[in-house]
Chains A and B, each alone.
Chain A
């Protein structure tokens, strides 16, 4: 069973603003029967151009219905400009969070809103204007790009959770990967990640720091898995360690050492650390 928050359950069992407005100022529809969920959003503005009335109709699971209901509550009383800033995260947050596999429900809400606003502004956005990347669920490159940026997505699996793209036959996975790579490059350029300057250490400082890092960061984690580690020697940037306990029997011990200990030491001590295993 899904672990839904009380708020999700409430909005599913008692959805707010169900229906369709006649002669709406804006109307948007996303999703389809084939995809398993769909949302039709309609709104009307008052004389101050604020959203006076908004209604939804949704076909889908509990979190799709709850997300739609939440969306209507969020945008009620907002100007169109304000509403346009609502993100899928806002919808998920309003509900106290959604299971990660269900995040696509919040994205569907945001997309319906976008479509309705575009409709109000007289803009035509059609799927045909964009490349459909995932045929199984009819997801375009634009939607995927948007979801990656808005939710800081890094993997295909995450993209699937947020947009459904890639959740069927899997044929589109390489294309999604390419989009992730491209978008993340753009994102990196826009905001270069602050590189922490690691100051040059004396040998004594380095040894001390390695010991500290092992004791504070690494050994407790290994112990939690029933293992342990002894520092044998340090030579320049080479750190010699022996694995003890269950780790040394484990076929993945090699990976544990290389990936885990080394990344940790590189993170805390210096980028050029190399870890070597010695038999005790």
Chain B
């Protein structure tokens, strides 16, 4: 069976070029970068080189790049490392649509006695910046707002937010795990103090992440240990993965145009054809300020897990914000925060493309999706009711 992988916001394929540069660092060059001997020293050089590549990709200084084990660690470190440096400030601002790596840390801090402000979004998934302005206080230690949403692809106006936050001198972090590699990031021009990225979302392997920390930002290490990463993150460097991530960032920079032309065109094609061929379908989230690779669509009167399994039966790998797929009983917190009606929230499907996606794959989806939705609607008691109510049956 052929595999059509359109779940790149969940994880991506490791680029062959990335794997290739990693391999020697498992078996041949296994030295510890901290060692005094030549064998460790040669590895140190490669780690430095990778750090430069990541810095170049982010528009940062190499010294501002801290390697971590994943996006979640970067997010945890950013929040806890900031709060630890401002012990007198007990207020945190975030949004209702964050990834659990932020959202659940915030909830945890709430239980520990921190005050939380979680900004809401409108029906299109957009933030209300007045709400943000009103939430800022002298007590606020950190504002952390995702760059782009994993489920809908909606991009937040991070620089506009940065203006507001930095005018008050408050630390500002963004989880850019979904944005990195899809839209340009330039820390030199940014108001951000910290930014998280994750390797496996941009064709590096799972198990490597970065926390960008602007020079001069107050920060206490989250992982306490050796002097690695200039004392900001203990633990022997994950050398092969760091080298892999360096390569992946180099490629991502090179492919950024392609993401916003070729990938975007494929996504738009897929979206247009789905809307054209399947009635009672709506797109979730702001379609203008959106990642070029993501589309979240809701099919009314059918349920997401059923759609996913029928797609999966044909080799198509997508994901859903429906309740049943997550093991919880309610649809995704993102769709609920946006106020997507239940008729649609349960039937949401996310397609997320990559530079490896092809027109042929989109056509395969477009060919097979309409009969799947029709089949489930034929089983659904609500579809006929709906048609009747419209005088169509």
Q: Which residues of A contact B167 (CB under 8 A)?
A: none
Query: A15 — which chain B residues lie within 8 A by C-beta?
Result: 379
**Distance (Å) between the CB of B94 and the closest chain A CB?**
20
Interface of B is mostly: helix
- For the complex, give the distance between the alpha carbons of A60 and B376 in Å: 9
Chain A 71-91 interface residues, beta-carbon cutoff 8 Å to B: none
* Contact between chains at A59 and B302 (CB < 8 Å): yes
Chain A residue numbers with a CB within 8 Å of B329 are 36, 137, 160, 164, 167-168
**Which interface class (under 10, 10 to 19, 20 to 34, 35 or more) fits B?**
20 to 34
Q: Are B330 and A58 in contact (CB under 8 A)?
A: no
CB proximity to A under 8 Å, residues B342-363: 342-343, 346
**B303 interface contact, C-beta 8 A:** yes
For residue A167, which residues in chain B have a CB less than 8 angstroms away from its CB? 328-330
Let me know if B378 is at the binding interface, CB within 8 A: yes
Report Cα–Cα, A102/B378, bound state, in Å: 23
Within 8 A of A (CB), among B276-318: 301-306, 309-310, 313
Q: Judge whether A57 is part of the interface by a CB distance below 8 angstroms.
A: yes
Within 8 A of B (CB), among A1-42: 2, 12-13, 15, 18, 20, 29, 33-34, 36-40
Which of B303, B309, B313, B327 contacts A59, CB < 8 Å? Answer: B303
- A38, B346: Cα distance in complex, Å: 12
Expressed in whole angstroms, the minimum distance between the Cβ of B302 and any Cβ of chain A is 7
A58 in contact with B309 (CB, 8 Å)? no
| Measured CA separation A68–B382 after assembly (Å) | 16
Question: Do the beta carbons of A62 and B306 come within 8 Å of each other?
Answer: yes
Say whether B217 faces chain A, with CB atoms less than 8 Å apart. Answer: no
Shortest CB distance A207–B (Å): 47
Q: Which residues of B contact A61 (CB under 8 A)?
A: 303-306, 322, 324-325
CA distance A65 to B304 in the complex (A): 13
Nearest to A40 among chain B residues (CB) is: B381
Interface membership of chain B positions 324-346, coded 1 if the CB is closer than 8 angstroms to chain A and 0 otherwise: 11011111000000000011001
Q: Which residues of B contact A39 (CB under 8 A)?
A: 381
CA distance A249 to B246 in the complex (A): 40
Q: List 14 A-B contacts (CB under 8 A).
A: A18-B379, A20-B381, A34-B342, A58-B379, A59-B303, A59-B381, A60-B324, A61-B303, A61-B304, A61-B325, A62-B306, A102-B324, A136-B330, A168-B329
